[in-house]
Structure 1
Amino acid sequence: MAGTWSGPGTVTLDDGSSERIRCRATYKVNGPTMEMVLTCASDAYRFNLQAAVVAVGGEVSGTWSESSRNVGGSIQGRGAGGSFQVIAQAAGFGASIALKTTGNKQQIAMKADSQFRAANITLSK
């Protein structure tokens, strides 16, 4: 998973509208720890998600932040073999994130309870 990945996706907003986005993710892996930066943008929408997690015995925990909205919090979940299912939480915000890596392809699906309702992203190396 380490390295830079990029590709297209869609983001769905609370009014039901959706937009195509272009994303780039950078991962730094060091043993059980991973740092991630995911930047996605469309003509009208942008987010910059950063996370630092540690995986021990299939349990994943860490912190996340989104710089354009100045929000951040905790991440908890499970992961193994290139597949992760986590919950990102902060005051007034919650999102489920599923990430699956197969070969040089990566699928990211996010569902949230805020103005940003969902994102589906396909990345490749």
Structure 2
Amino acid sequence: MTLLRTMTRRIGLPALAALALFATSPPVVDAAPQAIGPFASLEGWWGGAGRLRFTDGKTEDVKCRATYFIEGEGQHLRQTIRCASGSGKIEVKSVVRHAEGKLLGEWTEEMYNITGTLDGAVTERGYRVSVQGTQGSSLSANMDIIVMDKRQMVEIQFFSETLVGLTLLLNKG
């Protein structure tokens, strides 16, 4: 059984989905006049790669691409994220809302029909987010997203028997 399939069965793939769903949320604002708020510079396509780390010491390379739509005067983010590795793929759709520096949202992983919630805060350099699975999923992870211009670094710590973490680097396309 491949690592990504094993990860899926033990929460890993949903965790990867959770990470991906908020992997690109910089507070840095481009000059785009149609959007204001913490999601202003997100609109469009992002892509990049990263590495999953498992509790048994193994790693697996992952590639992701994301499309972001800004709504609600820049306070709502709708996104679609696709990630793949040598052993499988995921597709996450999510909605994230911003109010007074706080973030709240819901996500759905389309291929495995897994859902969850997220909450967090806007920070000086990006975001700090906590992700939880719903409907019987034991998914739990913390994410730090650091944004510098059109690049992002995402670091995720999983609370899982299978996964330790994920580091992902994304660039705006």
**Alignment TM-score, normalising by the size of structure 1:** 0.86
1:119 aligned onto 2:166: yes
Within 2, Cα distance between the matches of 1:117 and 1:68?
23
Gap change, CA 1:70 and 1:16, over 3 Å in 2: farther
Identity across the alignment (%): 25
Number of aligned residues: 125
Q: Give the whole-Å Cα distance in 2 for the aligned partners of 1:82 and 1:34.
A: 18
1:64 touches 1:88 (CA, 8 Å); kept in 2? Answer: no
Structure 1 consecutive aligned stretches of length 4 or more whose deviation exceeds 6 Å:
none
Which has the larger share of helix? 2
Read off the aligned partner of 1:26 and give its amino acid letter: T
Select which of 68, 78, 97 maps to 1:54.
97
Unpaired segments ≥5 residues, structure 2: 1-41
CA distance in 2, matches of 1:5, 1:105: 9
Structure 2: distance between partners of 1:112 and 1:66: 17
2:148 is aligned with 1:102: yes
Kept after mapping to 2: 8 A contact 1:106/1:124: yes
Q: Aligned-residue CA RMSD in angstroms?
A: 1.9
Rg larger for: 2
The 3 A distance-change label for structure 1 pair 17 and 45 is: farther
With normalisation by structure 2, the TM-score equals 0.65
Task: State how far apart, in whole Å, the 2-side matches of 1:24 and 1:70 are.
Answer: 19
Distance 1:96 1:37 in 2: 20
Distance in 2 separating the partners of 1:123 and 1:95: 19
Quick check: which one's strand share is greater? 1
Give the gaps of 5 or more residues in structure 1: none
Matched, 1:7 2:48: yes
Structure 2 vs 1, CA of residues 15 and 50 (structure 1 numbering), >3 Å: closer, same or farther? farther
